[in-house]
Structure 1
Amino acid sequence: MTNTQTKSQRAVFVMIAFLMAIFGLMTTTTSASAASYSVVSTTSMTSTAYHRTSASGAVYNLTHTKKLASLSKYPNTTWYATKKVVLKHGSTKAIYYAVKNGAGTVSGYVWHKYLTAGKAPLSLKYAKAAVAMNASTGKVLWSKNANTPRAIASVSKLMTLYLVEQKVDDTSATWDSKVTTSYSGLKSMGNSSTYGGFKFTKNSYTVKQLYDAALIESSNNAAIALGQWVAGGSTPSYNTKFIKLMNAQAAKWNLGKASFVSANGMEQSALRSYGYSVSGGDANLVSAKDVALIAKHLINDYPAVLTDASKGSLTVAGQLCYNYNNLLPGRKYYQASLNVDGLKTGYTGLAGYCFVGTGKKSGHDRLITVVLHDEDEFTETRSLMNYVYNSNLI
């Protein structure tokens, strides 16, 4: 063995020994750090509600060796503390609370400075107006600008569908009754890249076919055709009569300042080119609370609507109708525990994104939520639903 080889080998051995020493030191330091959190005292306390004061905090296990959850992911969560624990780390002592979220899915220990007493307030960042309502009692459980009338886009179709259900229920009409769809304005609307979706390729469809197209695909021409049918005809003059029926029903339900000018939620500035403008303002104006009340009447009086509204898609008269409710099973924002099975989406440039959601979580009454002029309607609806349930408001 040459001197050069010997020196090289020695250098390698020295490096290996050095790295092993460093690794051993790191291991020892990590173990020491983990072991340095010790319990000084534990005091039981009456279950007390807290919410986060900082998004930088975290929930740890008792020995502080494992992060169980980041508070940044729980902006609207109420944590319930049942113990006050003093932990010692080196020469420093700190107070931690033993906490559990309302759903009981996350528990651990949080430094007390990251929490403040009281239930977590809910803040919907994007929705201009919102409400959560008990579908059985009509009680408002949470609200934001809930009494201010706003444009509601295709959410308006809930009123139209209610009046369709009412006619089928109260007259000799049936779901198989034929609705005339030959008016050129309706066919043109159905072919529109902006307002279409369900094309009128025939001069008549059944009530049920148009009902499904309006509910699931949110077909604008189907909603107008149904409204004319409810009013007794198939021309724009009957659309005007139907608008009066919509407002009469709103008055019957004491819906405050609700005002309807279209059967489908399109603004009149858009409807005019199709021959469907009426006197009045440009848009249907309804408050979030009154939208929830319309949904309440529809669900309670005609509960079968939920069977249809829960379908992700449906082929109607040879055309695929797609449901844009992204809280349904298999969709991006689906959460199994919420059991969402309806109800209606909506969008126009004036109204923004609107959504009426409903579901019945196991062991609770049915919940109705409404968000109007939102930019993240499904995330905020899910947050609102979870907040109501986790706060035991329903």
Structure 2
Amino acid sequence: MKKLYLTLALGFGLAIGAGAATQATSTASAASYHVVASQSMTKTAYHKASTKGAVYNLSHTRKLASLKSYPNTTWYATKKVTLKHGNSKAVYYKVKNGAGSVSGYVWHTYLAKGVAPFNLKYARGAVALNADTNKVLWSKAANTPRPIASISKLMTLYLVEKKVADSSAGWNSTVNTSYSGLKRMGNSSVYGGFKFTKNSYTVKQLYQAALIESSNNAAIALGQWVAGGATPAYNKAFIKMMNNQADEWHLGKATFVSANGMEQNALRTYGYSVSGGNANMVSPKDVALIASHLINDYPAVLEDASHASLNVSGQLCYNYNNLLPGRKYYQASLNVDGLKTGYTDLAGYCFVGTGKKAGHDRLITVVLHDENEFTETRALMNEVYNKDLI
């Protein structure tokens, strides 16, 4: 019993000693940084000067945020504080981010004066365009052609609209969808989505399937219809029409080899490969200009593009645009109502977004080969509006 008591007493004493030691260490750590001078300053904008640095509490005992985690953040300094640590003194700025969610003290060397330059971390190419004037508002590698996956369908849909507008053909015209390659494509777990269970659909049905569901077989069938037939030979003729339209618009950074954005090595399986490059290669700026022509010449496209989902000939077509109302990245003030997503392993995630914020011209944004296409599109749209670029 005495042994147990002694053990407990010793344990309790050790615990107290450990607690006291911990407290002493914390106190010593806190005491190692102390204020020797403090001066208020006019609110001044700064941004990170390098990948180093962090935001600390005043006693420098707790790191509140790493500057590298806030690459595009503007920090606003309101106080200059001199802290002494040992025999050294250093100037720190008391800062807060624009959202007010993070505040603390940063060594002044880690900050550069001025508003943070905006950048997109993941997109390899991007552009923001005023749809009313076609003026480029912001860009990143805007003139570098890249594979664009399914946003290629915007050119296909433009030519469909053009045929409907310029000929006796109407939206209720029927399109032959009997070709076996297209039916197999529609049934594919990778390239399918809208199944051709019938040998014909209306132009409008295939248009909606291609735009909303991003149906690859619907896009090819529409292209063949525009070119005047229903076989792969007419697909080749349609691709020539796509390139001719790009030339007519003076798009010097656009080359098409498929109606739907699939690469040749994938199309070959279904009998739709053509000579030339492996993928549609278009620059972000030229993609934006194609979207601008489509929206301005045929604005009704936005009625279909704004559908989160739509039943087309008994099949549910799902819109993968996650900036639309009710979706994960929706922001009401941006008023996004279109336009087109795309993905292949080669192209990465691609997205053309458009919206018209109250009191502003319509905005078109393009991000190519992205990893967070909706987050970065939303950031780009907000950058344009916050800086009154449109």
Contact 2:350 2:370 in 1 (8 A): yes
The whole-number CA distance in structure 2 between the counterparts of 1:334 and 1:64 is 38
2:147 is the alignment partner of 1:151:
yes
Q: 1:33 to 1:345 in 2, by over 3 A?
A: same
Q: 1:191 to 1:117 in 2, by over 3 A?
A: same
Contact 2:54 2:65 in 1 (8 A): no
The whole-number CA distance in structure 1 between the counterparts of 2:85 and 2:277 is 70
Contact 2:45 2:115 in 1 (8 A): no
Match of 1:57 in 2: 54
What is the CA-CA distance between 1:287 and the residue it aligns to? Answer: 1.3
2:190 is the alignment partner of 1:164:
no
Q: 1:189 to 1:11 in 2, by over 3 A?
A: closer
Q: Counterpart of 1:156 in structure 2: which amino acid? A: S
Match of 1:194 in 2: 190
What is the CA-CA distance between 1:146 and the residue it aligns to? Answer: 1.8
Cα distance per residue 1:65-111 (max 9 Å; x no partner)? 87654423212223344x34114356664323344445566555433
The whole-number CA distance in structure 2 between the counterparts of 1:293 and 1:287 is 10
Aligned CA RMSD, in angstroms, stands at 3.7
2:353 is the alignment partner of 1:319:
no
Please give the secondary structure, in 2, of the residue aligned with 1:86.
Answer: strand
Please give the secondary structure, in 2, of the residue aligned with 1:163.
Answer: helix
Contact 2:323 2:336 in 1 (8 A): yes
Contact 1:180 1:204 in 2 (8 A): yes
Identity %: 70
Cα distance per residue 1:276-316 (max 9 Å; x no partner)? 44554443222111001112222333444334334443332
2:240 is the alignment partner of 1:244:
yes
Match of 2:282 in 1: 286
What is the CA-CA distance between 1:226 and the residue it aligns to? Answer: 1.7
Please give the secondary structure, in 2, of the residue aligned with 1:214.
Answer: helix
Cα distance per residue 1:221-260 (max 9 Å; x no partner)? 1112222333344344443443333223222322124222
Match of 2:45 among 44, 48, 57: 48
Match of 1:86 in 2: 81
Contact 1:51 1:118 in 2 (8 A): no
More displaced stretch, 116-125 vs 146-155: 116-125
Q: Counterpart of 2:136 in structure 1: which amino acid? A: V
Contact 2:95 2:103 in 1 (8 A): yes
**TM-score, normalised with respect to structure 1:** 0.80
The whole-number CA distance in structure 2 between the counterparts of 1:313 and 1:192 is 21
Please give the secondary structure, in 1, of the residue aligned with 2:316.
Answer: strand
What is the CA-CA distance between 1:215 and the residue it aligns to? Answer: 1.2
The whole-number CA distance in structure 2 between the counterparts of 1:189 and 1:214 is 13
More displaced stretch, 376-385 vs 132-141: 376-385
**TM-score, normalised with respect to structure 2:** 0.80
Match of 2:230 in 1: 234
Contact 1:327 1:333 in 2 (8 A): yes
Unmatched tracts of structure 1, length 5 or more? none
Match of 1:205 in 2: 201
How many pairs does the alignment contain?
A: 388
Contact 1:59 1:71 in 2 (8 A): no
Q: 1:328 to 1:85 in 2, by over 3 A?
A: same
Contact 2:83 2:91 in 1 (8 A): no
More displaced stretch, 155-164 vs 144-153: 144-153
More displaced stretch, 228-237 vs 190-199: 228-237
Match of 2:127 in 1: 131
Contact 2:55 2:104 in 1 (8 A): no
Please give the secondary structure, in 2, of the residue aligned with 1:344.
Answer: strand
Please give the secondary structure, in 2, of the residue aligned with 1:245.
Answer: helix
2:291 is the alignment partner of 1:295:
yes
Contact 1:77 1:387 in 2 (8 A): no
2:175 is the alignment partner of 1:179:
yes
Match of 2:112 in 1: 116
2:342 is the alignment partner of 1:346:
yes
Q: Counterpart of 2:195 in structure 1: which amino acid? A: K
What is the CA-CA distance between 1:173 and the residue it aligns to? Answer: 4.2
Unmatched tracts of structure 2, length 5 or more? none
Q: Counterpart of 2:219 in structure 1: which amino acid? A: A
Q: 1:334 to 1:8 in 2, by over 3 A?
A: same
What is the CA-CA distance between 1:30 and the residue it aligns to? Answer: 5.0
Q: 1:63 to 1:232 in 2, by over 3 A?
A: same
Contact 1:39 1:85 in 2 (8 A): no
The whole-number CA distance in structure 1 between the counterparts of 2:170 and 2:248 is 25
The whole-number CA distance in structure 2 between the counterparts of 1:98 and 1:392 is 28
Q: Counterpart of 1:265 in structure 2: which amino acid? A: G
Please give the secondary structure, in 1, of the residue aligned with 2:255.
Answer: coil
Q: Counterpart of 2:311 in structure 1: which amino acid? A: T
What is the CA-CA distance between 1:169 and the residue it aligns to? Answer: 4.2
Q: 1:185 to 1:99 in 2, by over 3 A?
A: same
The whole-number CA distance in structure 1 between the counterparts of 2:248 and 2:358 is 33
